[in-house]
Chain A
Amino acid sequence: MSWQTIRALVAKDLTLFFRNRFFAFITVAALLAYIVIYFLMPDNVDETLRIGFYVNELPPAITDLLAGEGLEVYYADSEQDLKDAVLNAEVTAGYAFPDKFMESLVNEENPVIEVYFPADLPQEAKDIYILLLKELSFTMVGQPLNIEFSEEIIGVDLVGQQIPLRDRMLPMIAVFILMIETMGLASLLSSEIEARTLQALLITPLTVRSLFIGKGITGVGMAFVQALILVAITGGLNNQPVIVLIALLFGAMLATGIGFLLASAGRDLMGILAWGVLAILVLSLPAFGIIFPGTISNWVRAVPSYYLVDTINRALNYGISNSLAFYNLAILLVIDVIILWLGVVALRRKMA
């Protein structure tokens, strides 16, 4: 194995990659787009509850309660005014109290409070607002339930420091970037097989092993550098940079192995794109679980990218323990080796 020949191969592959206008454009455009999207998204989570009231008179105890942090209260002039505020998304729930609400309470009647929600409010959120109303009612009648609440936060207490959506999206964007490079590498390899330029390379003293090392270095290098640029620009190296860098490197190896498999499966650019989109969908699933917590079950751990996404997400957003990072990265490395090996075997069969 000669490093001079491998270096020549890598230089050739990079030249060809950037002379392929389609992939050169997609590479640069995608990276820029992801970075722009990241910075366009809000960098904080709005935890304020906006509620509206139409009420003639509120007891001072309630007023004090509503003045608390995290609540923004709108007092409507009329019931219609309250409905308009809900409709215009100025508040996410509107409570309309009857005119003689306090009097009805005193007379031990059952006053009816109308609650208005926008149509797109999830049921879970509606339940919260109803619960808030009941709490207010108890406060109003001066008969708090004889129950004590004890709160315990499992994991990192994120009250007041919720992870912005853009930071939860970052692992998915990293997977996208790695996979776009995967398709570029696969296209490069497939075109070499179809044009039989690999045949010309292998008639020189270049060995098959050196050839795959060269291709591997190109694939891993390109995917890693782009993911690194993304993470560095978006501040992803501020927390546990060593773990993030190792995760990205292993992710780039995973992408390269999948690139080898795609190249062996697709005969041309369209075939590679078709297989590539399928691969992106599957590999993105763990990232969706981070963006929408609770939507994906434990089976997602069977997806090879889970250990990449989980490591990056925890390192960037929560802080990951060394033992969990080691566990995740070790599994990811084993998966990398298996997929790279399968990719090389599949490609060699295609080249034969």
Chain B
Amino acid sequence: MEEAIIADQLTFAYDQLTAVDHVDFKVKEGEILSFLGPNGAGKTTTVKMLTGQLRPKEGKAVLLGMDVVQETERVQAQIGVCFEDPNLYEQMSAEENLNLFAKLFGVKDFDAAALLVRVGLDGRGKDRVETYSKGLKQRLMVARSLVNRPRILFLDEPTEGLDPVSSETIRNVILEERERGATVFLTTHDMVEADKLSDRVAFIDHGEIVALDTPHNLKQLYGKRAIKAEVARADGRLEIKEIILDNPETAEAIQELFTQEQVVTIHSEEATLEDIFIRITGRGLAG
């Protein structure tokens, strides 16, 4: 597969503050890459440089073989961007919003109604956006980013603060787009979502990528595997015991657990992406 996105030493600074610091990564066509990091880590600035909204101070971004700075218009014709906060024309209907962007992209025979069905907005196409809830607006934002059938889809916190139904709808659309062959660049600080959707995840902190791999490999590399058991004590109360796997003493400890304790429940434990992020950066994703 070809590289859909190449970030080569991408750097951007707001005055004295370096927001993105010599970031390097590649995303293959048809891949979903999640950018995980706390607020202010540099996720949105990276998206802005990749989509031609910001000019890098150093380095370059290449999308589908085109330099983003040199060929901004050609790049933007091939991408779809869903912003973090809804920026729709509220006094226009959903269909009018989509039709406007279809014209700007020069899409012929555009079917707004069909796209609205995909994001679960069927029957609401004629309503003005100002009457929509936050979840419905976000679904429309996703629909707008799909108007030109983009080869690369940038989604900036697409499910932030949404109800479960809206979040699930958007996740399904992301997976459908991957099936279609689109590359998806997803920024989020929802590690569960990233774990579910992503082929690979990148951890970004203070403008630098501190880890980049598949969720499975990251867990293998940085997570601790363990089993947790609830055992009944002599006084009838429950006690939780944790046995770390991969230690030389693991087998003996497990044998001891079952021979000397009254085991009530037992579960295997796997590190979450947030655990790994904290372990690598020393701080959580929420911050």
Contact = CB atoms under 8 A, between A and B. Distances in A.
Contacts of A9: 104
Nearest to A16: B91
A8 B103 contact: yes
Given A195-B87, A205-B76, 16 more contacts: A4-B103, A4-B106, A5-B106, A8-B104, A12-B89, A15-B92, A196-B85, A199-B53, A203-B52, A204-B76, A204-B101, A204-B104, A204-B105, A204-B148, A205-B73, A206-B104
B179 to A, nearest CB: 24
Which of A5, A19, A195, A203 has the most chain B CB atoms inside 10 A of its CB?
A: A203
B103 A15 contact: no
A201 interface: yes
Interface string B74-108: 10110101010101111110001000110111100
Interface centre among A197, A204, A205 (most CB of B within 10 A): A204
Contacts of A16: 89, 91-92
Contact of B83 (A15, A19, A196, A204): A196
Contacts of A207: 73
Interface in B49-74: 51-53, 73-74
B91 A5 contact: no
Nearest to B148: A204
Residue among B74, B88, B89 with max Cβ neighbours from chain A (10 Å): B89
Nearest to B154: A203
Contact of A205 (B53, B96, B106): B106
Contact of B87 (A199, A204, A205): A199
Contact of A203 (B81, B85, B91): B81
Interface of A: 2, 4-5, 8-9, 12, 15-16, 19-20, 195-197, 199-207
Contact of B53 (A2, A12, A19, A202): A202
Going nearest first, the 3 A-B pairs with the smallest beta carbon separation are A8-B103, A196-B87, A204-B104
Contacts of B96: 15
A11 to B, nearest CB: 8
Nearest to A12: B100
B48 to A, nearest CB: 9
A200 B53 contact: no
A202 B73 CA distance: 9
Contacts of A196: 83, 85, 87
B51 A203 contact: yes
B200 interface: no
Contacts of B73: 205, 207
Contacts of A19: 91-92
Contacts of B88: 197, 200
A19 B128 CA distance: 11
Contacts of A206: 104
B56 to A, nearest CB: 15
Contacts of A4: 103, 106
7 contacts: A2-B106, A5-B103, A8-B104, A15-B91, A199-B53, A200-B81, A203-B52
A196 B105 CA distance: 19
Nearest to B85: A196
A8 B52 contact: no
A200 B84 CA distance: 11
A16 B88 CA distance: 12
B129 to A, nearest CB: 11
Contacts of A20: 91
Given A197-B88, A200-B83, A5 B104 contact: yes
A9 B103 CA distance: 9
B235 to A, nearest CB: 62
A185 B51 CA distance: 29
B83 A201 contact: no
B144 interface: yes
